[in-house]
Amino acid sequence: MKHFNLIFWGMIFMFSPRIQGFDVLPDAIGFILIAVGLSGLTHLNPRFEKAGRLSLVLLPLSLLTLYQRPNEENLYNITTWYGIISVLSIFILILYLLLYYYICTGIAEAAEAQNKRELVEDAYGAWKRYFSFNLALIFSIVLLLFSYVLYIIAFLIAGIGAVITTIGVLILVRRAGKQLKEEWA
């Protein structure tokens, strides 16, 4: 349970709001907690090791986003800087997708090895939902290049879905911590 608990709290840090542009709970701390938690689960499934390495890749990238100046100007101001930020945002979202993929499928495969069929199905389902809404989020960023109105609509729908599915993954990690045996086989 303790390793899944570290992953859970690490994800909470990644899920935190911003106040005046500052990340309230720095993602970097979250990635450290996730990496430590995953390092204790590598014997359950090799995907946890891959997720741990990926969280260490995301760690320095998260330092770039500790502070993001709130955009108080024209929201529809596409500049070269916006293009760089958009590409970086899409790249980071893809890395998040990989991280969550390894965690969810690692849980599913570890649950399968321990004959926890319901947890297997829930883990794969959580991953599919998370993937779908975050892919829509990436698509919404691209939409900004074409239509601000479409971007806002798509971003709101995808963003709300992404928040809900992230909460679903948090619940999955909690359940995995309660249902899976973490000891060495």
* CB environment 85-99: b (16+ within 10 A), e (fewer): ebeeeeebbeebbeb
**Domain extent at residue 53:** 2-65+77-179
**184 lies in some domain:** no
Tell me the pLDDT tens digit for each residue of 98-135.
999 999 999 999 999 999 999 999 999 999 999 999 99
Q: Which residue has the higher pLDDT, 138 or 84?
A: 138
CA distance 19 to 11: 19
| E-assigned strand segments in 22-177 | 22-23
What proportions of the chain, in percent to the nearest 5, are helix, strand and coil?
Answer: 75, 5, 25
Q: Which residue has the higher pLDDT, 177 or 145?
A: 177
Mean pLDDT of the chain: 88
**53 lies in some domain:** yes
Contacts of 175 (CB under 8 A, 6+ apart): 119, 122
**185 lies in some domain:** no
Q: What percentage of the chain has pLDDT greater than the value 70?
A: 88
CA distance 38 to 59: 14
**12 lies in some domain:** yes
The total domain count for the chain is 1
Tell me the pLDDT tens digit for each residue of 131-159.
999 999 888 878 877 888 888 899 899 99
**72 lies in some domain:** no
84 pLDDT more than 90: no
**19 lies in some domain:** yes
Taking residues 60-76, what's their average pLDDT? 69
Query: What is this structure's pTM?
Result: 0.87
**29 lies in some domain:** yes
| 43 closest CA partner among 89, 85, 106, 102 | 106
